[in-house]
Every structure is written in C-alpha cells, then in structure tokens.
Amino acid sequence: MLIIKLAFRNIIHSGLRTWLNVIVLSVAFVLIILIEGLYDGMSEQVKDAEIDSNVGGGQFWQKDYDPFDSFSLERSHSEIPAGLEQEIRNGNASAVLIVAASIFPRNLSQSVSLKGIDPDQKIVNLPVSILNEEPDANVIPGLIGSRMSNSTGLRAGDYVSARWRNINGTFDAGDIKIVQVIDIPLPSIDKGQIWIPLEKLRTMVQIPGQATVITLRKNISRIPAGSGDWIFRDHNYLLKDLNDNISRKRLYSNFIFSLLLGMALLAVFDTQVLSIFRRRKEIGTLMALGMTRWSIIGLFTIEGFLLGILAFIAGSIYGYPILAYLANEGLVLPSMIERTQFAILLVLYPKYGLQLYIVTGLILFLSVIIVSFLPAHKITKLKPTDALKGKFS
C-alpha cells in the first residue's frame, strides 16, 4: 500500500511530464476505439446492405449463371420450378431475369446488363415500384443507380437506345426511358446495370416464365426445394468475397492499432528511462533505507500503470461525447467515393461495443505495465552506493 501511495505522489508531482503522457495515451486510446468502431460499423453496414438490397435470405441460380462471365447470360435462364413459383406467389421470393445488352449514351457503345424484376416485389430493398408509374405501355421504363448515371451521363427522363439478342439469337433494339435515378448502396448492383419490369424484359427476349436468379426473403424459415437447373447459394457462398475483403481491411485496422499504441508506449518508455536516470539518487536513498530492488521496480511499474488509468479516465471523459456523436450522426465521406468499386456507403456509422472498450483498455494497461517494467528491471543490478554517487548505466 505504501508503494502505491508513493507512486501516486510521484505521478502527481511530476507535473507536465505526467499530463503529456496522459494526453498521448488517451488520444491513442480514443483513436483506436474510433478506428476499430469505424471498421466494425462499416463491415456491418455493407453486409446488411448486401443482404437487404441483393442476396436476401439466399438465392437460387440457374445452373449456367456466372456473374463474372457476361457471355454466360445468353444461356443463363430456365423455367421456374413449381415450388419456387409458389414461393414467389406467396411473397417469399422474387425472380430476376438478366440479359446482356448494349446501350448507346452520347453516341458511345457501352455493355450493360438488363435486369428484369417484378416492380411489386418486397424481397430486396430497391424502389423498383417506380417502374409501375410509367403510363405509356409502349415505353420500356428503366431505373439506374447514381454510379451508372455518373458514368453514362443519363438523367431521369432521358431516353437511351439499347440493343439485345432474343431467344433465337436475333438482334433487337429499342429505346429505354430512364424514369428515375436511385441511390443504390452497392456498386455490384449499380454500375453497368439497368432495372426494368420483369414481364417487359421477358417479352423483349421472348422467354416467358423464365428467370436467371431467384432471391429468397430475408430470414425465411424454410429453404424451398429447387431442381436440376437451379442451384441454391447461401450466405456463406454469396458473401464470401465481401467477408474476404472485410478480413483484409481488418489487417489494415490492426496495423493502425499497433502503430498508434506503439507511438504512445514509446513516449511512456522514454519518460520512464529518463525518470529512472534523473531519480538515481532517490533510488539509492530508498535502497539504503531498506526498500528491496524489486519493490523499487514495482514502484516504477505502478507509476506506469497509474498513467494508464489516468489516460483511460481522461479518454473516457472527452472521448465519449465525440464517439457518441459520430455513432448517432455518422461520418460523411466525400461523394467521390461513389466512383470507386468499393462497397462503402457515403455515411459510416461506427459501432462501439462494450467488448471493444474493455479489450482496448486492458491492452492499454498491460502494454503500459510492460514498457514501464522494461527500463526499471535494470535496477536489480544496481548497488545503493553507486546510486547515491549518481553512477547508473
């Protein structure tokens, strides 16, 4: 108990040196929680957006469908099995037909995917009901995302010529009216894609009743049976690339975590080394008065631990309002992020869990104890007479 009181007195009387260390440690503590919270929040947001806007509770793929091979789209369509058709009628699934096409915005040719979707579906979180608002039955209404709009220059109300092949391999063409430009959170269902009514697209390519992908309702209790032409893809398969990307980003966050913590601990280490050197006569006096070498080592180690506690308290006081504000209001990213291929939302909401707070605090305490012990353990070889004479190496 005496050592703790002595360590606390030394910390308080160190003045500016103590508070500089506390500031450095507390800033590192707050930044680590902020960065880790941003990564956790971003990962959860993107995964939720992928499930809500694209994969739902899983998908059935036509056996020839390959999202990375546009040439496979010519054969990636089949009749919907009776069981899946019943799920669609019950509102538990939604069919999507995908057809390769070319459009000619500003007299330039661009390859796109025409995606036919039921405007009345409630499975994926896309505002496709707008497609029903086009009064002219002879017009092909289309929806595009903001990324697609930026790359093609198309705006709501514009017409764009499109060319596609029907089931017989014959080229056909028509004008698509862009009825709305919508905010689609994921570039994977935005860039190079135009959403049009399912039955309209089936008529255009002359394949009634067929589809390429069938998306199930999120949290569906029972996976319906497919058929030989339809393969079920669960979240483990559909979200594999996303999870791998999140794992890679986690490596970056761990690197930043280590960098910030290392910079803060370096300041504590240097302070402890200088403190031991400056207080060598005090150390000799304590040893001459009967304090053991390991007690003196404990004194300096406890001083470092108290620095960690003060940093934890200070970081909690000024860090909580900052972190709470960002968690509620979000971190707004520049609009240019939409031009990238990364699935990052424009507003990121950090996610701070109690586990993150506790683990970061424990790592901070343990690290400070270690870097405080390292320079102090050399005291075990020090003789009291040498310390009193100022001899210290």
Q: What is the pLDDT along the chain (393 residues), one digit of tens a residue?
A: 677 777 777 777 777 777 888 888 888 889 888 888 888 888 888 888 889 888 998 999 999 999 888 888 888 999 999 889 999 999 899 999 999 999 999 888 999 999 999 999 999 999 899 998 877 878 899 999 988 998 898 999 899 999 999 888 889 999 999 999 988 878 888 888 999 999 999 999 999 999 999 999 998 888 887 777 899 999 999 998 888 888 887 788 788 888 888 888 887 777 777 776 766 667 777 777 777 777 877 887 888 888 888 888 998 899 889 988 888 888 777 665 555 555 566 677 888 888 888 888 888 888 888 887 877 766 656 666 665 565 555
Q: Is 157 left (phi over 0), alpha (psi -120 to 50) or beta?
A: left
pLDDT score, position 311: 86
Instruction: Give CA–CA dist 180/375, Å, rounded.
Output: 66
Closest C-alpha to 367, from 254, 278, 263: 263
Q: What is the pTM of this model?
A: 0.76
Backbone torsions φ then ψ of 15, nearest 5 degrees: 65, -125
pLDDT score, position 206: 92
CA 40 to chain centre: 6
pLDDT score, position 304: 81
pLDDT score, position 119: 93
